[in-house]
Structure 1
Amino acid sequence: MFAASTNWGVGEVLITMLYFTCLFIWIWLAISVFIDIFRSRDMGGLHKAVWVVAIIAFNLLGVLAYLIVRGGKMHEHEIEAAKAQEAAMQNYIRNAAGTTPADELHRLADLKDRGVIDQAEFDKLKAKVVS
């Protein structure tokens, strides 16, 4: 009913779409900056609080200042978080499987001693377990 009662042209629709796109990008950027602030281990609590207040008080200017001052470290924090998540997943998989690399090496040595695998296969599988 609302759309039928107004007379919107193509230009107004495109401008409105542009505004909503900019709003979406702004929200995404602000959330990314807040995540990075709280993920940073190299900043103390007061330093984090100052950045949060600056971003809330000065909106776009605060986010732009953060990106200029600390934008390069955002990628490093993302990589650290990904590595920590990968290590946690690998640890979970090892615990769920119930075997450790030492157990695998012991099992491989047993297979080699029984003659099931030869020295070349043992070396190849050992390198895979150790890595």
Structure 2
Amino acid sequence: MVTSVDLAYDYPVLGAFWTVMWIFLWVMWLVLLFRIVVDIFRDHEMSGWAKAAWLLFLILIPFLGVLVYVIARGGNMGRREIKHAQEQQEAFNAYIREAAGSPSPGKATADDLVKLSELRAKGELNDEEFRQAKEKLLA
């Protein structure tokens, strides 16, 4: 004779809801904790001793440390995040310009000037057009 075991019978829906709620809050707290640790290391205005003190506070008393950090320094966390994202975007754009071989904005390369002089030598540009194009490249 086979007996079936109903595992979910003793676990009501409200109990499942609270379990999911606690897991969600725990994951949210971990995400906040790691964002704070990243923010501590990202802040270049904070001294090394202050960073060490905040990290020690977060390790020894994590819940209170997170709460105090968000109250004391939470207002500028977003600004530091935006600044970091802008720096990353600028570095990415510079890398793309370098990899593609295009000059930085406002910088003329020798190749551009050679092409311009070749157009002048072929007669496709007169002296005035050549002078204007050269000034535009060198500006």
* TM bracket, shorter-chain basis: 0.7 to 0.9
Is 1:34 the counterpart of 2:40? The answer is no
The one-letter code sitting in structure 2 at the alignment partner of 1:77 is: R
CA deviation after TM superposition for structure 1 residue 61, in Å: 1.1
Select the structure that is richer in helix.
1
Give the Cα–Cα distance (whole angstroms) in 1 for the partners of residues 81 and 54 of structure 2.
19
The code of the aligned residue for 1:22 comes to L
CA-CA distance at 1:110 after TM superposition: 3.0
| Structure 2 unaligned spans of 5+ | none
Aligned to 1:78: 81
TM-score with structure 2 setting the length: 0.72
Question: What is the CA RMSD across the aligned residues, in angstroms?
Answer: 2.9
Map residues 112-123 of structure 1 onto 2, 5 A cutoff: 114=124
Q: Which runs of 5+ in 1 are unaligned?
A: none
Q: How far did residue 79 of structure 1 move?
A: 1.5
TM-score, with structure 1 as normaliser: 0.76
Q: SS of the counterpart of 1:81?
A: helix
1:102 aligned to 97, 102, 108, which one? 108
Say which one has the larger Rg. 2
**Structure 1 residue 49 and structure 2 residue 72: aligned?**
no
2:91 alignment partner in structure 1: 88
Q: 1:43 to 1:3 in 2, by over 3 A?
A: farther
Corresponding pairs, count:
118
